[in-house]
Structure 1
Amino acid sequence: MQSLIPLFLIAGAGVGVEIALTRFFAVASWSEYGYWVISIAMTGFAVSGVVMVLGRQVFLRHARWLLPLLPIVMLAVGGAGWIGATLNGFNPLELQNPITAEAQLWNIALYYAALFPFFFLAGLAVSLNFVVHADQVGRVYGYDLLGAGTGAVLALALMFVLHPFVLIPALLPLLAVAAMISGGTPWRIGAVVVLVATEAAVFALAAPRVNEFKPIYAPLNVPDSRVVAEVLSPRGVYQLLDNFTERLDVDVSNNASTMGVPAPPRSFGLYRDGSRIAALPMEPPSAAHAPAELDAAAYALLDAPRVLVLGGGGGFRATEALELGASHVTVIEPEPVLRGALRHGLGPSPALAADDRVTISAAHPLTAEGQYDLVDFAGDFLGADDQNRNVYTAEALAGFLERLSPGGIISIPVGIRELPVYAVRVLATARQALRLAGVAEPARHVAVIRSAWNLRVLISRDAFDDARVERLAAFAEERSFDLSYAPGLPVQGREIWNDLPPVSLESNTVEQGGEAQDAVAREAEQVLAGTPPQDAFDRSPVTADRPWLSPLVRLPSLGAALARIEILPQQEIGLLVNVAVLAQAVVLALVVSLLPLAARGSLRVPFGVLGRALIYFPALGLGFLLIEIAFIEHAALLLGDRTSGFALVLTTMLIFSGIGAMWAGQVVAHGRALRLAVLVAVGCAAAALFGVRAGVLAALDWPWALRAVLLVVALAPISLALGFPFPLGLDRFQKEGVGLLPWAWALNGAFSVVATPLANLLGHGAGLSWLLVAAIVCYAGAALAWPKERP
């Protein structure tokens, strides 16, 4: 048993470093570039299998000293790779400029050069263990998965006490321990020496930093700027800044001074991973500026409304609602640090003062009960937390419509400074929500008011009558805002205060003319009628199965997007990164798949067996990751946090799959066990396909610990079943030729590289349900590819 403990530690270090690197990219750059880490890691595993296929006998002869050597070399190259990654001058903004892009492509290549050796050696260590212990592949695979799950838990636990920039040095000692267990005294001494030298080099030479294009960079570096509070957690690095640039970021009329309204107050700025998520008050919040806000539009149509506010913004939004005449305000803040700031304050920022007219609710936005006259989304609600996007879906808006009293309104903010089409997609979602609520003519229930930078979509339970449209027009006129759409309002012939030209990928320039334009007004009537324009941008509704407002670029228009990448906002870059990673992964998968044709002499198996292996192991690599990613998205909603969802799904699936793999090693009737495991996995995936959404919604208001237990219990059966097919397949296929064992490991790794970007593109393009459907097809295909049992 002890001989596989080093494998357990190596797998833990590999996954822990992978997670730590994704956090590094999120803090120093953007989280989208974390896909590169997954790509590099799985590429390393795949290439290691290829190398093991070609040199299996050599590695087997020298396994006695290679087993303790590999973790020591991993330790050294891991430290060197971390140093290289932190010194890389990558700048995503330059990647979007054709003139400067070439240098950044070289920087991306340097990331691969720095990080690939570590994951290649990790894969080599795992595949060598498979070769050395070919008679117990179930145990080997089980230790590998259990170690990986433990490494994930360790990395996430360390995030509560360590900044992401020091996570990797904290994880490297696992490799030294692995080497000490694998070898005798000389290896133990060598492991200690290399560990001390590597850690010293890391702390002396590594220079992790926040890139200058991150929103936090400028305010953090102005004179007298201070970080007055900091919170470390797997959700992110939270920093509360105090400097002269920080102010409550609301859209106030240019006419505020003539209205006798003061400017918004100074505030602290709260940043998570370098992106600003909220303004927190320096003193009990003032709201004298509220009447001049764009966000006040809905209040101008209601008298003493009962308001449900989504996103408290440190108390500013509740105070503004009271200033605008609300009779009672119920605040729901899903983001835990912001919710804590509301209740208890954060650093020097005070808590929201007690007021009988204000209730801070612990309910989830999707399950909030009660009747309201206004459901008011705070301006920073969508950007405050990734999971808030689930509240922008058609199903969620239809639910809010049911909670409105007669004459009630939903007020939804949308940023338009980068792409006006984001607002158009929200209009499509509003139309779908109204249709779900049984409204026959959605266009009569929607109005749109905007400034130059932001927009509010107002959805009314009852149709907007002429009196309300007139009140809204007067509100806009007094503040120099634009009423882009309202029932009965002519599109042409209106004075436009804030120029908003349309942005098109089909044109080489942004449309501009002598007169001011309103890109949203052009499309609102078409979209609300159900006949949106057809071009490079997706204007379909945001739904519970596709809960993403961005990216908007359609995959068939990828060429146009690349040609005009300089005009695309950061939200759209994730799509391009996924496509690039997928293209690279497909090339790698083809190379690994075609290897047997070049090295068939090493494999010594019939073509028919190769063909079955070429279906079986890629199907497992694709199927496992597709199920995992689908459950991560659902778990993120259930737990209120993508990081927690990712961690718990990854850990549960790895640990229970590891147990399943060990159990598979004791099974004699492999074919029958495989069919039973696939049947259980497919049955669980099918049940999730039809029931997971309802189950998640039913549990949203449970205590966090109970939701976590529910997730583990739900994942355990399918994870246990998913642990069977790979070791059973390794054991069965190696009977046809022992050379198939490392090739199978390479195939599984190569198609796991394909799975991650493919799942993201499929989920965004078709919906989360299709991930489970594709996984069911993969496992059914694997079962059909099982070799016939020998007589």
Structure 2
Amino acid sequence: MHSLVPLFLIAGAAVGVEIALTRFFAVASWSEYGYWVISIAMTGFAVSGVVMVIGRAVFLRHARWLLPLLPVVMLAAGGLGWIGVTLNGFNPLELQNPATAGAQLWNIALYYAALFPFFFLAGLAVSLNFVVHAGEVGRVYGYDLLGAGTGAVLALGLMFVLHPFALVPALLPLLAVAAMISGGTAWRLAALLVLAATEAAVLALAAPRVNEFKPIYAPLNVPESRVVAEVLSPRGVYLLLDNFTERLDTDVSNNAGTMGLPAPPRSFGLYRDGARIAALPMGQPEAAHARAALDAAPYVLIDAPRVLALGSAGGFRAAEALALGAARVTVIEPEPVIRRALTHGLGPSPAPAPDPRVRIAAAHPLTATGRYDLVDIAGDFLGADEQNRTAYTAEALAGFLARLEPGGMVSVPIGIRELPVYAVRVLATAREALRLAGAAEPERHVAVIRSAWNLRVLIAREPFDAARVERLAAFADERSFDLSYAPGLAAEGREVWNDLPPVSLESDTVDQGGEAQDAVAREAALVLAGTPPADAFDRSPVTADRPWLSPLVRLPSLGAALARIEILPQQEIGLLVNVAVLAQAILLALVVSLLPLAARGALRVPVPVLGRALVYFPALGLGFLLIEIAFIEHAALLLGDRTSGFALVLTTMLVFSGLGAMWAGRVRAPGRALGLAVLVALGCSALALLGVRGAVLAALDWPWALRAALLVLALAPISLALGFPFPLGLDRFQQEGAGLLPWAWALNGAFSVVATPLANLLGHGAGLSWLLAAGMCCYAAALIAWPGKRP
């Protein structure tokens, strides 16, 4: 009964360390580089299967001492790998400079060298258990998945009490326990000694640190800088900083002094994982600067508006709205730490004093009720939380338009300091939102005003008339802002206060033209008319099925992006990394697929059986991950947090798939059980395609515990069904040849490596619905590849 407990612990340690490493990259570098951890982990699992295929007889002969040895060696490899990762000097920004890129490519290789041994040994331990217990593969697979799910929960729980830099060392003792259970007294002593030596080495040599190019690095290291509050949670590491550089980050006119208005007040800076997400007031929020800010534009067009403010700007946004003449302000702040600061304060930053004109609403931005004159999105709203991007979709903007009273408008901010095309994509989204709202001429409902760094898209319920355009132009001229687009406004021949030259991947230079330019003005009319320029950048609307503003680079233009990588912002580099990881994963999948075939005597089965295996197990590896990643994205919206969504989906699917695998080991008609399981999985996926968004929106305002319970209940049937195909396939295919069992494990792992970057590219490029549809096709292919009865 207890012989598989060590496997449970090894799987838990492997997945826990994998999640811990993704959090390390989010804090120390940037979160998109956490994909490497998944790639390295699955690469280790895949290669272990190939090694087991080739050396199966040797491993089986020495299994008695290998089973306790592997977790001990894993323990040492995990500690050494963690030390290597923390000492790595990787800086992703240097990838954009040809002179420094070579060193960074070497650093990437060092990450693989540091982490591969740990995950290879984990895969070897799992595949050895499959070989040793070949007669009960369902039970083995069940313990593996249940352990992995438990490891995910443990890692998530530790994030509430430990800094991400302490997570990996905290999870390594699981491996010592696994070794102590597997072996006798000598192995117990060895495990304790290796654990003590490993933790001592980690304590002495590991040096995790924050990349010097992250926004927090400079303010954290100025003289007399102080961390005045800290919050640890799975969402991130929150630090509240106090130093002379911290100031309310709002875009104020250079003419503020001549207007007799002060600069924005000093503030505390709130950072999450090294990125600044809000300014918190040092006393009660001040708003004397508000009339000089770009954000004030819509307030000159509407008298005494009733405002729905999406994002609180740490408490400053309501004060600014009131200073600009708002009659009432309803604030929706989805970010939980900022929301708590609004009601209870955070560290030395007090909560804003109660005001009868201001209400803090508990609703989600997508489900806000009531009627308003202005829906005003805060300038830092998009960067305050990853899930806030869902408010920038065409469906969301159309919903805000439906909440407006006659004469009302929606004010949408976007930064333009990195690429003006982000603003152009927001314009395309605004056009689609107006089309959904029934506007016959969307271009007459939009105005665009900007500074040198930021831009506001004003989307009006009724068409802009000449009087409103004139008032907006006067507002812009007084503050030296630029009115880039308004109905009836000439696109050329106007004075441009803030130079904004167009950026192109097709040209080796930035077009200056000898005079100030307005790249947004050049494209606004074309985009709003539904005829956007065709080049390397994607200008399609952001939708609920594709809720990402970035990356903008189209996949066919990757060559041009690499040639001009120095002009691309950080969020675009992630796309290039993703493509590189996919290319590496495909190469690995080919090696794993073909190498055992070349090993003489490793696989002695008929060619048709090999062909079916080459469809069946890769289809399962791809299908499971594609479906899982699609559900993670929906869960992130449902729970308001990607980390919680990831952890709960991963845990639920692993645990229930593990139960399904154990159940699969007891069925008497495997072909019929497989058909029924795939039918259930396809049916659940089809229901998700039809109704998942509506169900998520209906539950957004429920208490978090109820939303989490709904997610578990929704995922349980499909996860249980997805647990059947792999153990059933292992059991059936190994009847054709014992070497097929570890090879199948390798194939599944190799194509799981392919699935992660492929899912990201497919989701961003085509939409989440395509992920589910592709996963369904994979399981249908697996069902077709199921071998017939042996003669």
TM-score range, shorter chain: over 0.9
Equivalent residue, structure 2, for 1:129: 129
Which structure 2 residue ranges, 5 or more long, are not aligned?
none
Is contact 2:390-2:547 (8 Å) kept?
yes
Deviation at 1:317, TM superposition (A): 0.3
1:197 aligned to 2:205? no
Shift of 1:599: 2.1
Q: Which residue of 2 aligns with 1:377?
A: 377
Task: Measure how far apart 1:511 and its partner are.
Answer: 1.1
The letter for the 1-side match of 2:349 is: S
- In structure 1, what is the Cα distance between the partners aligned to 2:602 and 2:419? 55
CA displacement at 1:671 relative to structure 2: 0.3
* Counterpart residue number, 1:107: 107
Which residue of structure 1 lines up, in the alignment, with residue 461 of structure 2? Answer: 461
Question: What residue number does 1:143 align with?
Answer: 143
* SS of equivalent residue, structure 1 residue 317: helix
The residue correspondences of 1:730-749 to structure 2 (distance < 5 A) are 730-749=730-749
* CA displacement at 1:600 relative to structure 2: 5.3
Query: What's the offset of the Cα at 1:595?
Result: 2.1
Q: For the residues of structure 1 that align with 2:416 and 2:671, how far apart are their CA atoms?
A: 57
> 1:596, 1:11 → 2: CA distance?
25
Tell me the alpha carbon deviations over residues 300-352 of structure 1, each in whole angstroms, 9 at most, x when there is no partner: 10000000000002210000000000000000000000100111110000102
Name the counterpart of 1:247: 247
Q: How does 1:287-306 map to 2 (within 5 A)?
A: 287-306=287-306
- Hey, what does 2:675 align to over in structure 1? 675
Q: In 2, distance between residues paired with 1:760 and 1:77?
A: 30
Q: Aligned equivalents of 2:369 and 2:673: distance in 1?
A: 48
1:96, distance to aligned residue in structure 2 (A):
1.2
Shift of the alpha carbon at 1:790?
Answer: 2.2
Shift of 1:601: 1.9
SS at the partner of 1:366? helix
SS at match of 1:732: helix
Deviations 1:355-410 (A, max 9, x none): 00000000000000000000000000000000000010000000000000000010
Classify the secondary structure of the residue corresponding to 1:379. coil
Matched, 1:693 2:693: yes
Q: TM-score, normalised by structure 1?
A: 1.00
Deviation at 1:586, TM superposition (A): 0.1
Structure 1 residue 357 corresponds to structure 2 residue 354: no
Per-residue CA deviation, residues 706-757 of structure 1 (Å, 9 max, x unaligned), is 0000000000000000000000000000000010000000000000000000
Contact 2:305 2:326 in 1 (8 A): yes
Q: Report the equivalent of 1:589.
A: 589
Kept in 2, the 8 Å contact 1:310–1:381? The answer is yes
| DSSP-derived class of the 2:42 partner | helix
Equivalent in the alignment of 1:611: 611
1:751 alignment partner in structure 2: 751
Matched with 1:449 is 449
3-state DSSP class of the match of 1:604? coil
C-alpha separation in 2, matches of 1:200 and 1:313? 44
Looking at structure 2, the residues matched to 711 and 671 of structure 1 have their Cα atoms a distance apart, in angstroms, of 30
Q: Give the equivalent residue in structure 2 for 1:157.
A: 157
Q: Which amino acid aligns with 1:247?
A: R
TM score, norm. by length of structure 2: 1.00
Q: Report the counterpart of residue 310 of structure 1 in structure 2.
A: 310
| Paired residues of 2:50 and 2:596 also in contact (CA < 8 A) | no
Report the Cα offset of residue 596 of structure 1.
Answer: 3.6
SS in 1 for 2:166: helix
> Deviations along 1:69-127, whole A, 9 cap, x unmatched?
00000000100000000000101111111110000000000000000000000000000
Query: What does 1:47-446 correspond to in 2, within 5 Å?
Result: 47-446=47-446
Question: How many angstroms apart in 2 are the aligned matches of 1:584 and 1:721?
Answer: 31
Please show how residues 448-597 of structure 1 align to structure 2 within 5 Å: 448-597=448-597
- Between the aligned residues of both structures, percent identity stands at 86
Shift of 1:513: 2.1
Distance in 2, Cα, partners of 1:316 & 1:406:
27
| SS in structure 1 at match of 2:504 | coil
Residue type of the alignment partner of 1:348: P
2: CA distance, partners of 1:738 / 1:790: 15
1:521-576 CA distances to partner (integer Å, 9 max, x unpaired)?
00000000000000000000000000000000000000000111111001111111
* Alpha-carbon shift at residue 510 of structure 1 (Å): 1.1
Q: Deviations over 1:383-440 (max 9, x none)?
A: 0000000010000000000000000010000000000000000000000000000001
SS at structure 2 position matched to 1:228: strand
Query: Quick one: distance in 2 between partners of 1:459 and 1:432?
Result: 11
Contact 1:314 1:351 in 2 (8 A): no
Q: CA deviation at 1:597?
A: 2.6
Instruction: Name which of structure 1's ranges 571-580 and 51-60 shifts more when overlaid on structure 2.
Output: 571-580
The AA in structure 2 aligned to 1:146 is L
Preserved CA contact (<8 Å) 1:314 1:352: no
Measured in 2, the distance between the counterparts of 1:723 and 1:160 equals 30
Unmatched tracts of structure 1, length 5 or more = none
Between the aligned partners of 1:303 and 1:620, the Cα distance in structure 2 is 59
1-structure distance, mates of 2:313, 2:257: 25
| Residue type of the alignment partner of 1:315 | G
- In the alignment, is the contact (CA less than 8 A) between 2:267 and 2:281 conserved in 1? yes
- Taking structure 1 as reference, are residues 391 and 600 closer, same or farther at Cα in structure 2, changes over 3 Å only? farther
Secondary structure of 2:408 counterpart: strand
Whichever residue aligns with residue 14 of structure 2, its letter is: G
What residue number does 1:789 align with?
Answer: 789
Residue in structure 1 matched with residue 43 of structure 2 by the alignment: 43
* 1:248 partner SS: coil
Which range moved further: 317-326 or 88-97? 88-97
- What corresponds to 1:645 in structure 2? 645
Is 1:713 paired with 2:713?
yes
Q: Structure 1: how far apart are the matches of 2:240 and 2:150?
A: 32
Structure 1 partner of 2:664: 664
Report the CA distance between 1:451 and its aligned residue. 0.2
What SS is found at the alignment partner of 2:99? coil
- Provide the C-alpha distance between the structure 2 equivalents of 1:475 and 1:765, rounded to a whole number of angstroms: 39
- Report if aligned partners of 1:89, 1:107 keep a CA contact under 8 Å in 2: yes
Give the secondary-structure state (helix, strand or coil) at the position aligned to 1:539: coil
For the 8 Å contact 1:307–1:373, the answer to whether it is kept is yes
1:684 maps to 684
* Aligned-partner residue type, residue 232 of structure 1: L
Structure 2: which amino acid aligns with 1:613?
A
Q: Which amino acid aligns with 1:332?
A: I
Partner secondary structure for residue 279 of structure 1: strand
Q: Distance in 2 between matches of 1:573 and 1:146?
A: 36
Q: Which amino acid in 2 is paired with 1:675? A: G
For residues 600 and 757 of structure 1, what CA distance do their matches in structure 2 show? 33
**Counterpart residue identity of residue 391, structure 2:** V
Which residue is 2:702 aligned to? Answer: 702
Partner of 1:468, secondary structure, is: helix
For residues 66 and 658 of structure 1, the distance between their equivalents in structure 2, rounded to whole angstroms, comes to 25
The CA distance in 2 between the partners of 1:50 and 1:507, in whole Å, is 46
Amino acid at match of 1:643: T
